[in-house]
């Protein structure tokens, strides 16, 4: 069911994850608390951050200031630095918990596979141990392509619950979508608006006029109807409310297909097969 901002998808370990949330990529530390507080007080129940964003402290402050019970919030953060030494992974996780001011996260992700360093399998095995400790209710990956996922399946014990990838109408990644669905891995979209590029596409503008909605709402509704978890970012409460107003209309099958056909394999971020930033 995807009929309201509070609806959730059940991950393959039984944990329920909201379909819709707020991302804080590149949100400055000094405004992050306000953004998170505004999102939660506007009805959002999922917040997505990462250690590399440098704003986990602000996220933790916003969680506390919101007045929303921690158990009702789905909190994601991500591991940036891989390591063969699992203690280093544990230390990075502990630091994230300290900054977030929480005893656990709801989802912990490997941020990038960085295959040229050949450490993501060892890193995943350490994250499996964090999961078994109960301090991460679910674990997953971000920006993993099919070969990376196949290695985890062959060499590790636990299948990732989530793969957070760049996904928008210009980058549909059909093969990866089908692989994730076949292996019961939830697809979560980052940059669902292609960093704003999709919002001036004539097809999207035409659909916005047809449905009496904003271009943002049309694209995010497309995500919802495709069964894609999505985490758009905005700094203003008004846009947060507007972005989440997706449940009073639906796109026709013809219009869903029209948006699907906008796919042109355009990445606004790095290619996971070559990204190697330490």
Residue with tokens 């076949």: 182
Token reading at 154: 């062959």
C-alpha–C-alpha distance, residues 189 and 171, integer Å: 10
Dist CA 203 CA 52 (whole Å): 35
Catalytic residue among 44, 53, 120, 131: 53
- Identify the three-state secondary structure at position 270: coil
| Of 97, 52, 54, 47, residue with least CA distance to 75 | 47
| 89 backbone dihedrals φ, ψ, rounded to 5° | -65, -45
Dist CA 273 CA 153 (whole Å)? 18
53 is known as an active-site residue:
yes
Cα–Cα distances in angstroms (integers) from residue 158 to residues 128, 207, 239, in the given order: 7, 41, 38
- How many CA atoms within 13 Å lie on the side-chain side of 94? 7
CA 77 to CA 114: how far, in whole Å?
18
User: What is residue 105's DSSP assignment?
Assistant: B
Q: Which residue is it, tokens 């360093």?
A: 117
> Distance between CA atoms of 147 and 164, rounded to whole angstroms?
15
* Residues with active-site annotation: 53
């Amino acid at each position: 069911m995807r009929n309201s901002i509070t609806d959730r998808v059940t991950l393959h370990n039984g944990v329920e994850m909201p379909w819709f949330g707020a991302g804080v990529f590149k949100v400055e530390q000094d405004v992050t608390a306000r953004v998170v507080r505004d999102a939660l007080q506007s009805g959002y129940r999922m917040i997505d951050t990462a250690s590399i964003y440098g704003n986990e402290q602000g996220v933790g402050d916003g969680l506390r200031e919101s007045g929303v019970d921690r158990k009702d919030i789905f909190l994601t953060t991500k591991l940036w630095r891989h390591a063969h030494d699992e203690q280093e992974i544990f230390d990075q996780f502990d630091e994230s918990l300290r900054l977030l001011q929480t005893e656990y996260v709801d989802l912990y992700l490997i941020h990038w596979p960085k295959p040229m360093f050949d450490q993501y399998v060892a890193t995943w095995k350490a994250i499996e141990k964090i999961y078994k400790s109960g301090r991460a209710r679910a674990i997953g990956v971000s920006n993993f392509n099919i070969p990376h996922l196949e290695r985890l399946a062959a060499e590790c014990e636990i299948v990732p619950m989530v793969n957070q990838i760049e996904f928008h109408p210009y980058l549909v990644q059909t093969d990866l979508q089908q692989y994730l669905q076949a292996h019961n891995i939830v697809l979560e979209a980052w940059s669902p608006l292609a960093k704003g590029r999709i919002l001036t596409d004539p097809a999207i503008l035409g659909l916005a006029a047809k449905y009496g909605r904003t271009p943002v709402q049309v694209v995010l509704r497309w995500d919802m109807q495709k069964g894609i978890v999505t985490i758009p970012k905005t700094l203003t409460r008004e846009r947060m409310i507007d972005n989440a107003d997706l449940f009073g209309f639906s796109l026709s099958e013809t219009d869903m297909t029209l948006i699907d056909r906008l796919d042109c394999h355009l990445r606004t971020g790095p290619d996971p097969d070559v990204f190697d930033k330490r």
